[in-house]
Amino acid sequence: MSRSTIFRVLDEADLKPHRSDYWLNSHDPDFEAKSLEICKLYLDAPRLYQQGRLVICCDEKTGMQILERKDPTMRARPGTPEKREFEYIRHGTRALITSLAVPTGEIVWNLGLTRKAVDFAAHFRHVAEHYSGMKRFDWVVDNLNTHWHLELCEAVAELSEVAFEPKKLQTGQQRRAFLMDPDHKHVFHFTPTHGSWLNQVELFFSVLSRRFLRRGDFSGPEEFEARLGWFLADYNACHAHPYRWTYTGEPLVRGTPFDRTRRQEQKGRAWVGPHRPLWQRRIYPPRTYRRRG
């Protein structure tokens, strides 16, 4: 089969086998209910904040590499982009546990070497102390095991002033039910499986990666921690803002069914033929396949 024949068959079927996209699909049976609950919290966050109820999104940014370029970076000049040395010296990694206040955009963070259950429990206490004037907290987190660990349950029981009974919190299901109890001062809302994109703190992590980590050049952990602290403080002072959340929690439906691709739709129109326009065939003629002798 010649190359032109293959091209014609694929072109008529509107197939591009050379292209591939990553896709993260959630098979959580309660995806719609969980996403609706979280999106409703986001939409009501400004009103709830006026009533003393704070919606918080929390997650970890792990494996942040502390890289030092082997040779100095050449700064950008007129007509010449910045040039960075591809070789680097690695000074370890850091984990950033971050909470984003949805109605204000302010962030509260803890920087450390690990992101274990004890680290998340300490961050939980830090955020609760930072917003000590609030009457109630709604926490949006993903399904990482440190987000429903016994250490966290103990901290929630203490700050919510309820009894802590470890014997009733032996399984993950029991701990989740305890953390999701709406009668507590601190209530947790877990995103659906493979639905961590519903967590607004991921938007801030994108900002952090683009503005701070991508072109980072640090001489060591001390400089990294100092500059990161300055960046986060400056973000709170000058750039923090509530994100405009547009997803309402409704199911994501493909606008065009898979059996009605653009090429197939064109075939159903009287003014569009099944073949490519003449100007496309003139400019991009199919190349014939020639065998080498």
Q: What is the mean pLDDT of residues 94-115?
A: 96
Domain membership flag for residue 261 = no
Interatomic CA distance for residues 115 and 64, integer angstroms: 12
Q: Average pLDDT, whole number, for the chain?
A: 88
Residue with more model confidence, 254 or 168: 168
Nearest CA to 9 out of 195, 286, 207, 235 is that of 286
How many domains does the chain fold into?
A: 1
Domain membership flag for residue 11 = no
pLDDT confidence band for 75 (50 / 70 / 90): confident
Query: Own/partner pairs for 207-216, CB < 8 Å, 24+ apart?
Result: 207/235, 208/61, 208/96, 213/64, 215/82, 215/84, 216/66, 216/67
Please tell me the predicted confidence (pLDDT) of residue 21.
82
Q: Are 140 and 38 in contact (CB under 8 A)?
A: yes
% residues pLDDT > 70 (the chain): 88
Domain membership flag for residue 142 = yes
Question: Over the stretch 44-60, which tens digit does the pLDDT of each residue have?
Answer: 999 999 999 999 999 99
Please tell me the predicted confidence (pLDDT) of residue 60.
96
Domain membership flag for residue 289 = no
Question: Over the stretch 220-244, which tens digit does the pLDDT of each residue have?
Answer: 999 999 999 999 999 999 999 999 8
Please tell me the predicted confidence (pLDDT) of residue 271.
54
Question: Over the stretch 239-277, which tens digit does the pLDDT of each residue have?
Answer: 999 998 888 776 655 555 555 555 555 555 555 555 667
User: How far is the CA of 273 from the CAs of 265, 276, 283, in angstroms?
Assistant: 11, 8, 18
Please tell me the predicted confidence (pLDDT) of residue 267.
57
74 CB-near residues (< 8 Å, 6+ apart): 82, 83, 84
* Stated length of the chain: 293
Question: Over the stretch 82-97, which tens digit does the pLDDT of each residue have?
Answer: 888 889 999 999 999 9
Q: What is the mean pLDDT of residues 118-136?
A: 96
Domain membership flag for residue 197 = yes
Does the structure show a pLDDT above 80 at 171? yes
Domain membership flag for residue 269 = no
Structural domain for 206, as ranges? 31-71+82-239
Name residue 253's amino acid. V
Interatomic CA distance for residues 28 and 40, integer angstroms: 19
Q: What is the mean pLDDT of residues 151-164?
A: 95
CATH of the domain at 193: 3.30.420.10
Lowest pLDDT segment from 132-136, 164-168, 270-274, 279-283: 270-274
Please tell me the predicted confidence (pLDDT) of residue 145.
94
Domain membership flag for residue 129 = yes
How, if at all, do strands 53-69 and 88-101 pair?
Answer: antiparallel
Please tell me the predicted confidence (pLDDT) of residue 79.
87
Please tell me the predicted confidence (pLDDT) of residue 12.
85
